[in-house]
Structure formats: C-alpha cells, structure tokens
Structure 1
Amino acid sequence: MESKNNTRVSVFLLGFSENLELQTLIFGLFLSMYLITFLGNLLIILATSSDSHLKTPMYFFLSNLSFVDICFTSTTMPKMLANIQKKCKAITYEGCITQTFFFTLFVGLENFLLVVMAYDRFVAICHPLHYTVIMRSQLCILLVFMSWIMNALNSLLQSLMVLKLSFCTDLEIPHFFCEPNQLVYLACSDTYLNYMELDLVGGLLGGGTLAGILYSYSKIASNICAISSVHGRYKAFSTCASHLSVVTLFYCSLLGVYFSSAVTENSHSSAMASVLYTVITPMLNPFIYSLRNKDIKRALKILLDRMNRNRFTILSKEVSFRICN
C-alpha cells in the first residue's frame, strides 16, 4: 500500500467514548482534575518559594517536580478538553508530533526528579553530618539542569524517529493524546529501529532511574533499621514517606501500562490505564506532600493568609475610591 505524505496525514484522537452524555461527564471530571492539579501544584511552588524556611534541597526539588507536573498535564489535557467541547477529535500532524515531544520530555523529567529526590533523602538519612556539604545549591541546580538536558535530547531523538515514519491511512489513535507507542504501532513503514530505540531508552532511562531509587531506599531502610530508638526510626522514615508514596504511585501505574498485554488498534484500555500516571498522579502529588508535612502546611497557611490580606486591601481601596468619587 502506498504511504501518504506525512504533512497530509489527518490525526484523530478517539478518546474514551463516543457517547455524548458520557463525554459531558468526562469533560466535567477531567476539567476538575486539571484545575485541581494546576492550582495544587502552583500553591506548592508559591509556598516553597515564598517561605525562607523552605530554602532547602528537598523543597527545591519539590517545587521543580510541581512545575513539571503542571507542564505534564498541560501537554495533554487542554487539547482533550477542547476536542470534547468542540465535539471534534482532530489534531494536526504537527501538533501530534509536538505533543509527543513534550509528553516524552515531561514524563522523563518526572522520572529523573524522583530519583534525584531519592538521592537527597539518602544523603539526609545515611550521611546527615555531611548533608549540607554534599547537597549544596550548585549541585542541586546542576542535577536539575542535567535532567532537563538529557530528557530534551531524548525527546528530540524520539520525535525525529517518529517523523521518519510513513503512514498508509489517516491515524485514528485510541487514546486522548499522541502517545509515542501508538504512533509507532500505526505506522506502515519499518518500525524496527523505533521499537529498538524505545526499548533501549526505556531500559536505560526508566530502568536506570528505578534502579537508583530502589538502591537509595535499600540503603535508607538498612540505616533506619540500625536506629535503636523507635521514635528515631519513625522520625527518619517520616522524612521520606511522602516521596516513597509518590514513587510507588507513579511507577506502579507507569509499569502497569507498559507491561500490560499488547495494545490493540481498537482498544481503549491503554488510554484508561494511562490516566493513572498522566492525570491522577500529578493531581495527588500536592496532597501527598502537604498532608503529612508540617512545614508545607505552615507555608501554605501563611501564603493563603497573605493572599486574603492582599485581596482585602485591594477591596478596601476600591470601596474608598468609589466613596470618594
């Protein structure tokens, strides 16, 4: 079959359901989750940046993770919501490739930041006396910078590999965003190099970061077990409980998608499973980090009180201005 010129390929995101009533419910549900994700992570960023007591490596990495979570969900959710609102499933081929690039970038950054945060907890618990020397600000900035560079290069490589593919028909993707595996699956040209690259990168970056996290927590666990005091063990564990919860939620959902049964062309199971790590995890991260963290709760309370005072001041000035005029 003759392949089409990729610039003339039409791409359709089939989403979750054809039922109009169900689509209305899906729109309301996902819009709510997107707003919660955006506002929750934005509050974490504002709280950690405005409180001088939170100028530590752990909260520096947390604010970066919150920023990535906002970008991660913003890569896929607005387009899906717009398509439901307009009752349209189309996305341009260029838009699809752009979405693939940023999706790959931010899911990779999520991986890297989680392993960097695990390393931070490892140093804090296993080498507390050398923590300030090891986790200096220059190293923290370098770790985040290198994470961006490595994942940007990986995203660029994957996008270029997809651009080389040819498609015999218009693309009907049984997903709510342009997921790289789906594009490779629907291609009619040779995809051997694409699958090899996906497996290689997945093994090196995904497997490498997971191995780093498991190694860090194995050392943390052995160190905590060596503490004689029950209170000391609880205090040491509580410092990494939130991060461990986020890691478990993210990797369990991610591995559940990619190690499940092979995706078929007409199946929506992959789209439903992907919601766990593309939508649910970024939405829950602010709650996980704030509910058990007294410093974050205190910073959020101060931030909200300050915002309320500023709003009251602005309203008072408006009222005074109207009275005077």
Structure 2
Amino acid sequence: MNTPAPAPVLSLSPIVLPAPGRAVELQLRISAPVTGSNLPILLLSHGHGRSNHLSSLNGYAPLANYFAAHGFVVIQPTHLDSKTLSLGPDAPDGPLFSRSRAEDMTRILDQLDVIERAFVGLAGRMDRSRVAVIGHSMGGHTASLLLGARYKDPHDGTEVNRYEPRIKAGVLLAAPGRGGDALTRFAAENYPFFSTTDFSRMTTPALVVAGDKDASAHLTVAGPAWHADPYFLSPGPKSLVTLFDAEHGLGGVSGYDVAETTDENPERVATVQRLTFAFLRTALHPGDPAWQEAQDALTRATPPLGRVESK
C-alpha cells in the first residue's frame, strides 16, 4: 500500500465547547496537518480504561498523530467517564456515560464553526461532507451508536437512538458485542445498557477490528469472538479484521509505551494504523484503491498478521 508521506501536524488543547446541561464543559484536542485543504474530519472516542489520562483528550496518540499526519482533522473529546473529571459512578448516565458519549460527538459536529475560530489556520480547510468516527473499547460502543446501533435505557425502557447521519463511515476497535447471555454477571449488573445492544440498524459503512486473544473476561463469557459481534450482527457494508495474537490493546493503540497494554507490539499498531486509514480513505473517497491495497498487504504478510472478511 502506497501510504502518502506523513505531514507536519499541529495539535491544540484544550479547546472548550459550551455544553449546556452537561456536568462540565466539553474539552477537546484538535490535531491537523499544517497544510492542505478539503481535510476529512475524524471523531476519536477514547476507551474507559483504568489509567488517569489515556481515557481523555490526552490519549490515543498513535491514532491521532497518524491520522492527522495523513490528512485528517482529528477531534478528541474528553468524555464524562474519564478519570480526569472524577465524576462519581452514581452520576446521571454513569458510570460509563454511554448516552452522553454519543451526544458529545453530535455536539462537536454542531459547533465546527467554534472549533475553526479556536484553531488558528483551520478555517475553511475542513471537508464537512466527509466525517468519520473511530473508537476503541467503550469508544467503539460510542462509535456504534453514532453509526446506528441502539439500546434500551435500563431505567425506563425507552430506545436510545444516537444515529448521526453526518458521519459517513466508522471504525470499531475492540468494541463490545451483544448483550443477553453473552454478558458476565458483573457486566449485566453494573453496565445494564449492554444487555439490550442492537446492531441490526447499524447501517453506516464500518470496519470492525478484533483481536483473537481479546477475551475481556470481566465483560463477556463469549470469549474473543464477542468483539466481532458488531460485524456479524449488523447489515452491510461492513468489514472485519481479526488480528492474530492481539489482546484488548491491539498492540498499544491507546498510547505510546503504556502500562495497561498487555500485548505491546509496534508492528501490530502500525497494522491497525494502515488498515483503519485505508478503510476510511476509501469509504470517504469512493474509488480510492487504498482499502484493497491494505487488504492485499495484510494477506501477503509473513507470518500472517490477521485476516479480513467483508459483506
């Protein structure tokens, strides 16, 4: 795959968006190439995580830096479940703030003018017709909601629908799968919204990336296959990449040299970078060969790094 050479990047944080009704104002990091125009927009949703700062606008540098260096405007919010905010688990929508997380992304898209004014040199350079979302772990759940997945509010049974039509494609990294009997007792009791996850209306084109050693035993009894559910239980067009020997960190996507990565592997992270970029490049620019080239490179690798299937 002939990935373009990386460009110099500017990154600015925190940019603060007004957020009436939210527990705190919405803080963002924006990263963008120094030059270029018609830049697609990528919303990056962090995971829940155990660390203090990876689960915030300060995390996920391997993804944010790569995408910005290759032509995306990357927007990273600090969701309400971040430890940096110290909100208690009994706060409304806590402890994972599933509904609020998706609302953060819609709020961002509603205030792109504010973001342009705050980031000197960005005005007029974003292509607002080409918006994508990428999320890891709980961020993958957030991405799935924006792409059309739904669940029932555990308090009143109403359907939570955060579908965002302005988002044209998405990537789910190590995302949660189905509910019901696939959940552990701990997950069902502490995160009851997972119990009713419905991928049947997740219609936006998406790439699901799962590790074949990602058991997530605290959440599911279904084993690593659970993280492929968003692919198998949603309608096409979708693609699934299964990375061999990858655990929940997928080699270390949440940050450089972080202690919580149990399968640290720079080559695996580079594979995730190339595959996700290529998928979104082709999804946002139909006819671009990047995704097919990346698939070919994955299957030719020796030893094989993973497999890909599509529908």
Quickly name the TM-score band, shorter chain normalised: under 0.3
Higher relative contact order (CA 8 A, sep 6+): 1
Indicate the structure with greater helix content: 1
TM-score in terms of structure 2 length: 0.27
State the TM-score, normalized to the length of structure 1: 0.26
| Greater gyration radius | 1
More strand by share: 2
